[in-house]
Structures are given as C-alpha cells and as structure tokens.
Amino acid sequence: MLRGNRSLRVPNFRLILSEQDKKFILDKTREVLESHRWTVGPKGEAFEEAFKKFTGAPHAVAVADGGAALIAVLQALKVPEGSIVICPTLTAPPTPHAILAANMKVLFADSKSDDLGLDPEDVEKKMNQYKGKIGAVIAVHVGGWISPNIKKINQLCQKQGIPLIEDCAHAHGSWLDGKHAGSTAGVATFSFFMTKPLTSGEGGIVTCEDSQLVEAIRVIRNYGKNAEGLHVMKGFNHKMSEFNSVVALWASLNANRLIKERREIAARYDQFLKDVKGIHIVKVPECTASYYKYILTVDSHLNRDQIKKSLLEEHGIEPSGGVYDTLCHEEPYFRSIPQEVLNASDAFPQAERFSRRQLCLPLYPGLTAQEQHLVADSLRSILHSS
C-alpha cells in the first residue's frame, strides 16, 4: 500500500490483450505444440516476413533477444576481437554488455540532450583519438526518437570505413525521412522484451540490406553451425523459440495498430500538459516517434526525484522507467573494468544533464484518457506546490 492508504491508480506498465489477440496467440501456440518443431521453424519465419513488411527491410533474422542481436551482428560484420566499439553512455546496460560479450572494448560517447542521439562531434573526437582501433559504432534510438544526426554519424563511419549498427530496441514504428528506424546504416537490431513497443516477452530481430550478413547471423545464432551441420565459425545459442515467435508474429501483424495507439496517447498527453509550467516535453520534430517512452524534462530548479516520489506516494501514479536515471558510465560494473571499458571515469555533460532532469510518464496501449488526466492533474498539482 502507498502512504495515505492509497492503492496504485496508474501503473507504469500493463499488457492488455483483446479476446481476438488471445485467440490468435493460443491458436498459433497450439500449432507449435502439435508440430513438434519448437525452435527455428515456420512461426519464426513468419515473424521475420511480417517484420520485414512492417519496416520495409530487405532481410531479417530472428534471435533470442536484443543483446544477442548485437553480439551476432558484431561477429557477422567480422569486427576484430579486442577492437574498440563506440556506444552512447545514454543507453541501457545491455548495449555495452553485448560489446563485452563479443570480446570487444567499450568506449562511451556523449549524446545530444535535445534529440537523445549520439553527438557527432564527440564521436569524431573519439574516432581520431583512437584512430585505427575503432571496430564499430553503435547508435541507439533512445525512447523511440531517431536523431537526424544519425546521418552525420553514418557519414563519419563511411569516411573512416567503420561499420555503424543501429540499436533500435526502442524504435519499432519510428520513422525519419520516410524510412523506418534501422534504414540508415544498413544493419539494425531490435529487442522484443516485455516493455518494448512490440513485444514477445523475450526476443529480438536483426534487419539488414546484405543477404550474406543475414546468412552469417543464421549460422552464428546456432553455435556457428551451417546448413550442412558443420561448425564453421564462432557462435552461440541465440535462437528464438517458436513460442516466442508466435507472440512476436502477433505483435508484428498488429504493429500499425499498436504504434498508432501509442501516438494517440502521446498526443493526449501533449494536450493535457501543454499549460503545465516547470516541464518540457521532449520532441524531435523531424522524427515520427514510436513513443516507447513519453519523456519530459523538468526545470533545473526542481527536484526530479522528489516529483517521482510524490507521484507514486501521494497520487498513486507509478512513473515509467527512466532513460536513464543511471548512465552506463556510472554503473559500478563498467567502472570496475577499466581495461575493457576505457572511459567510464570521463564526464559526459550533455547526457548527464538530460539524465538528471528526465521524467517518463506511463504510456502503453490501453491507457485511458481518464488515467492520463489523472497523471497530468497530479503532476500539475505537485509542480504548483514546488
């Protein structure tokens, strides 16, 4: 129970399925059970085809999760082990964990506080500082926003012959310049974790333009075993089960509906919060976002943590998980391995400024206008008394 004997009135996440949704998933699951093909089968292939159609990607391969997708892509691109991979500190720890799991070194870069994308100037500075040692760059589309600077990052990478990977874990249904997230660099990874815009509980997928890269990932995800049954390269078990593929297929076939509802919810928040002083609604005008998160920044004189605490304890509103309350370079583990994570002791002023001020509100399909009014009125009340 919450202080004042309040129960939770708006949780930070719910997964609401219609009877039709449940029937689809249960019917397809029964087909899997009766097929005796529980991994790497027709449901996984159907998921790949549906996600390709949704994103416009030429090729796709399903994997166990978003981290496995990054590991497999780094290996398929033949990024040398021991080389340095640049990624933002403004990302979830699975991004640098995947780099370490691929036996590569992590070099964090700053992110722009306005559009949440990698700062091209900082990336270029680090490329020059470690010239000849950078094996890849991973750009993350935080919160479902695609930074227009992804084009500059891609140009920098092309100029120096460094592969760019788009981590689109938040960006199913995000568009920039008429192209879906993951279309700039030619290879992208997506997570289908429980809270993502499209979910299968656990799961992931890689999209790319190069058919040979996809075939390499199919080998890598199965312990490096090719179609003839020979182990021809380094790999691991990164396969996605047919059961997870059923739910991922459902999500992909319903992607337009699910993302449309997220945008409608975000638009209501925009209206309900437009006159609230002390906050700024994060927007990237060039991008059509998925709204994985509805992100606000609070004015610097306000105590963001106290606002979150008041929302929960006084009003029963559970704030959504932040992006991110703790930056990767601040995480104890990454600071404990300076030989593998090269600059966790550095400062990242733009990411740090954003991280301290960001606040994410509940947003998921099924969130009602009444609940959103409650969230907005509660936030308004807290800020008015601050």
Domain identity same for 105 and 236: yes
How many Cα neighbours within 13 Å face the side chain of 161? 4
| Mean pLDDT (whole number) for 339-368 | 98
Per-residue confidence band for 286, with pLDDT thresholds at 50, 70 and 90:
very high
Q: Does residue 363 register a pLDDT over 90?
A: yes
Tokens encoding 222: 């199965």
Answer yes or no: is 5 within a domain: no
**Residue with structure tokens 């919160």?**
143
Check if the beta carbon of residue 56 is closer than 8 Å to that of residue 108.
Answer: no
How many Cα neighbours within 13 Å face the side chain of 69? 30
pLDDT at residue 6, rounded to an integer = 56
pLDDT at residue 36, rounded to an integer = 87
Computed over every residue of the chain, the mean pLDDT equals 96
pLDDT at residue 247, rounded to an integer = 98
Answer yes or no: is 9 within a domain: no
Percent of the chain with pLDDT over 70: 98
Answer yes or no: is 150 within a domain: yes
What are the CA-CA distances from residue 246 to residues 32, 51, 56, 62 (Å)?
9, 13, 21, 12
Note the pLDDT tens digit of each residue in 19-37.
999 999 999 999 999 998 9
| Mean pLDDT (whole number) for 332-355 | 98
Give the Cα separation of 331 and 92 in Å (integer).
10
Residue type, 20: Q
Give the Cα separation of 215 and 248 in Å (integer).
21
pLDDT at residue 385, rounded to an integer = 86
User: Of the candidates 228, 254, 280, which is a domain's last residue?
Assistant: 254
Crossing angle for the helix pair 66-76 and 211-220, nearest 10 degrees? Answer: 120
- Total structural domains within the chain: 2
Answer yes or no: is 324 within a domain: yes
Domain identity same for 378 and 335: yes
Check if the beta carbon of residue 85 is closer than 8 Å to that of residue 342.
Answer: no
Q: What is the torsion angle, in degrees rounded to the nearest 10, for the CA atoms of residue 334, residue 189, residue 163 and residue 350?
A: -50
Residue type, 8: L
Note the pLDDT tens digit of each residue in 165-193.
999 999 999 999 999 999 999 999 999 99
User: Of the candidates 219, 254, 289, which is a domain's last residue?
Assistant: 254
Q: Does residue 303 register a pLDDT over 60?
A: yes
Per-residue confidence band for 1, with pLDDT thresholds at 50, 70 and 90:
very low
Domain identity same for 128 and 217: yes
Q: Beta-strand (E) ranges in 283-357? A: 287-288, 294-298
Domain identity same for 216 and 77: yes
Domain identity same for 270 and 208: no
Give the Cα separation of 120 and 346 in Å (integer).
17
Answer yes or no: is 43 within a domain: yes
Note the pLDDT tens digit of each residue in 188-209.
999 999 999 999 999 999 999 9
Check if the beta carbon of residue 49 is closer than 8 Å to that of residue 61.
Answer: no
Answer yes or no: is 185 within a domain: yes
Domain identity same for 240 and 310: no
Answer yes or no: is 2 within a domain: no
Answer yes or no: is 10 within a domain: no
Domain identity same for 250 and 260: no
Domain identity same for 260 and 242: no
Domain identity same for 298 and 238: no
User: Of the candidates 207, 226, 254, which is a domain's last residue?
Assistant: 254
State pTM to two decimals. Answer: 0.96
Q: What is the DSSP letter of 167?
A: E
Domain identity same for 168 and 217: yes
Per-residue confidence band for 133, with pLDDT thresholds at 50, 70 and 90:
very high
Domain identity same for 114 and 233: yes
Give the Cα separation of 186 and 172 in Å (integer).
16
Q: What is the CATH number of the domain that holds 349?
A: 3.90.1150.10
Domain identity same for 47 and 132: yes
Length of the chain in terms of residues written: 386
Q: What is the CATH number of the domain that holds 142?
A: 3.40.640.10
Domain span at 339: 256-385
Check if the beta carbon of residue 272 is closer than 8 Å to that of residue 376.
Answer: yes
pLDDT at residue 8, rounded to an integer = 86
Q: Does residue 7 register a pLDDT over 90?
A: no
Other Cβ atoms within 10 Å of 123 Cβ, number: 25
Q: Does residue 366 register a pLDDT over 50?
A: yes
pLDDT at residue 4, rounded to an integer = 45
Strand-pair category, 105-109 with 84-88 = parallel
Separation of CA 345 from chain center: 25
Give the Cα separation of 375 and 367 in Å (integer).
11
Percent of the chain with pLDDT over 90: 97
Note the pLDDT tens digit of each residue in 57-111.
999 999 999 999 999 999 999 999 999 999 999 999 999 999 999 999 999 999 9
* 347 vs 2, higher pLDDT: 347
